[in-house]
Amino acid sequence: MNPLLYSLAAGSSYVKDFHDVMLGDNLHYHAHKGYDNASGWGSLNGAPLLASLTQTVEAAPSASPSLQVSATLSSSFNKGKNARYTIAVLNQGAAPTSGPISVAITLPVGLSYKSCQGSGWTFNAGTLTCRRGDVLEAGASYPPISLQVYVSRNAANGISPTVTVSGS
């Protein structure tokens, strides 16, 4: 109640909800317009203050998860050889996830799929997707996904897979 009372006193409803005491003192402080150490916010104006305190207040937006995903080269990148990428999924939101999470991998021309693994992840090689159904707490990460690809001899330098995350 105290924070609500202070928000009303500091807001536009102060004039109707409080009687501002602007004259006098309490032997140590002098009263003036608005909040002061002599009379605080003044005296309460009962009916309007009750109406302000009991009016419907909009609920604050609920917290939600915010998933981020990245793919980082974790080995050397040499044409004609295998390369490894580490895929990380992080919940940067203010709430845990509540449903299945999927990571979709798109390989550019020049990279071809070899293998994919990660603790707790199920992988579909046909669609290049990783999936899991356990909760990811706010601020936490899932165990990483390790993606191994073959780098063709005519691959462009510095190419990498595109990864997207979906779910809530």
CATH (domain of 129): 2.60.40.290
Task: Report the interhelical angle of 46-54 vs 2-10 (nearest 10°).
Answer: 110
Residues 39 and 79 in one domain: no
pLDDT 10s digits, 108-150:
999 999 999 999 999 999 999 999 999 999 999 999 999 999 9
pLDDT: which is higher, 82 or 54:
82
Backbone torsions φ then ψ of 51, nearest 5 degrees: -60, -40
Residue 75 to residue 126: CA distance in whole angstroms: 24
Task: Judge whether 101 lies within some domain.
Answer: yes
pLDDT 10s digits, 36-78:
675 666 676 677 767 767 775 566 677 999 999 999 999 999 9
Residues 37 and 78 in one domain: no
The residues near 27 (Cβ < 8 Å, ≥ 6 apart) are none
Query: Total domain count for the chain?
Result: 2
Average pLDDT on 99-109 reads: 97
Q: List the single range of 3-7, 82-86, 88-92 with lowest mean pLDDT.
A: 3-7
Residues 7 and 49 in one domain: yes
Do 67 and 101 touch, CB atoms closer than 8 A? yes
Task: Judge whether 24 lies within some domain.
Answer: yes
Residues 154 and 71 in one domain: yes
Task: Judge whether 49 lies within some domain.
Answer: yes
Whole-model pTM? 0.65
Average pLDDT on 15-31 reads: 66
Residue whose token pair is 């793919």: 71
Residue 85 to residue 78: CA distance in whole angstroms: 13
Average pLDDT on 87-109 reads: 96
Q: Write down the H helix ranges in 14-128.
A: 14-17, 46-54
pLDDT: which is higher, 11 or 91:
91
Task: Judge whether 59 lies within some domain.
Answer: no
Residues 158 and 102 in one domain: yes
Task: Judge whether 40 lies within some domain.
Answer: yes
pLDDT 10s digits, 3-22:
666 676 666 666 676 666 65
Residues 109 and 142 in one domain: yes
- Given a cut of 60, whether residue 1 has pLDDT beyond it is no
For residue 144, the enclosing domain spans: 67-167
DSSP state of 131: E
Residue 156 — pLDDT band, cuts 50, 70, 90?
A: very high
Number of residues in the chain:
168
